[in-house]
Structure formats: C-alpha cells, structure tokens
Amino acid sequence: MPDGVTADLYEGLARLPAFVPGDDEPAPPEVAELRRSVDAADVVLFCTPEYAGTLPGSLKNLLDWTVGGGELYGKPVAWVNVAAEGRGGGADATLATVLGYVGANVVTPSPIHLAVERDAVGPDGLIDEEPARDGATVGRPGGRVTRSGPGSWRGRAGPGSDGRRGRPRGWSS
C-alpha cells in the first residue's frame, strides 16, 4: 500500500441480519457498525464473484442496509469482479445499479475483472498472496489467477494488457 493508506477488511458480512424494508430503525448493532465503517472510509472497494447471474445475496443484503443511511452517497467506490472467466456481467450490472441508486461516486469506468479458478481459493475462502508476487496483473480486463500445482501459482495478463508485471496495489490475503 502507498504510504499513508490503510485498508480495513469488513468481516461482518455473515453477521448482518436480513434487511426488511421499513424495519430498519433502530438499526441492529451489526448494521450500526457497518454504517459507521462505511461512513468513516474515504473510499470503498468491493470484491465480489457472480452468483446465479448476479451479486451474492449476502452482498446485496449489505448494500440494502446502506440505502437509507446515506453512507455511500458521494463516496468514491470501485469493485473487483472475481467471477470465472466469461462470467460476471450480472454482478457488475447489479452492483452498478445499486451503487448508482445510492449516489456513490464510481471511480472506475468499468470494474476490474480478475478471473479466479475455483482451485485457486483455499478452504478459508482466501487466495494466497503468491499470485501477486509472481506477476498476476490486476486492473486489466481478463487478468487471471490460476493454481498451476500444489503450492504454486501463476498469473498472466489478459487480452489488452500492456504486459506489465508486478505486485498489484492493495492485494492482500
């Protein structure tokens, strides 16, 4: 990360109660914490796969909790789409719609696509930092991360890439 920049991973997604319109005040403690976290952030970066042609329900639930609070209004946002190669358009479209509805300031003209093969994801749901160190190019449509063998990773730039190699900013496990 650049000097002076910190990234906080929101880990409360699974603890958020289901959003029910009209039954959102007073906000449950988990929701109040989510809203405080979003409000305190200078920028919000979402990372999502596509599930059943759209956003995973848990992420949509999180976004629903932010609609009435205004925490995302005018806030710079971007997202990384980690759907399988050739997928992800539904998640992109839904996220763009919701973020537009809440008045977020989308700072990228299109999402970052990073195709992640299923076997590249560990049992903890995380991708090892190795692909970034080994040259995965993030920020170009079609960038991919795949596992090439036990404990080894490889990254390659997708179509349209300038082929630059190096550690992407903000990659973390």
Q: Is pTM beyond 0.75 here?
A: no
Residue 6: the pLDDT is: 85
**Residue pLDDT, tens place only, 93-112:** 999 999 999 999 998 776 77
The residue ranking higher by pLDDT, 159 or 137, is 137
Q: Domains (ranges, CATH) in the chain?
A: 8-14+21-116 (3.40.50.360), 120-162 (no CATH)
Please list the alpha-helical segments (H only) found in 84-149. Answer: 89-101, 130-133
Beta strands in the chain (DSSP E): 44-48, 76-81, 105-106, 112-116, 143-149, 152-156
Residue 156 confidence (pLDDT) above 50:
no
Over pLDDT 70: what percentage of the chain? 68
Q: What mean pLDDT is predicted for residues 13-28? A: 91
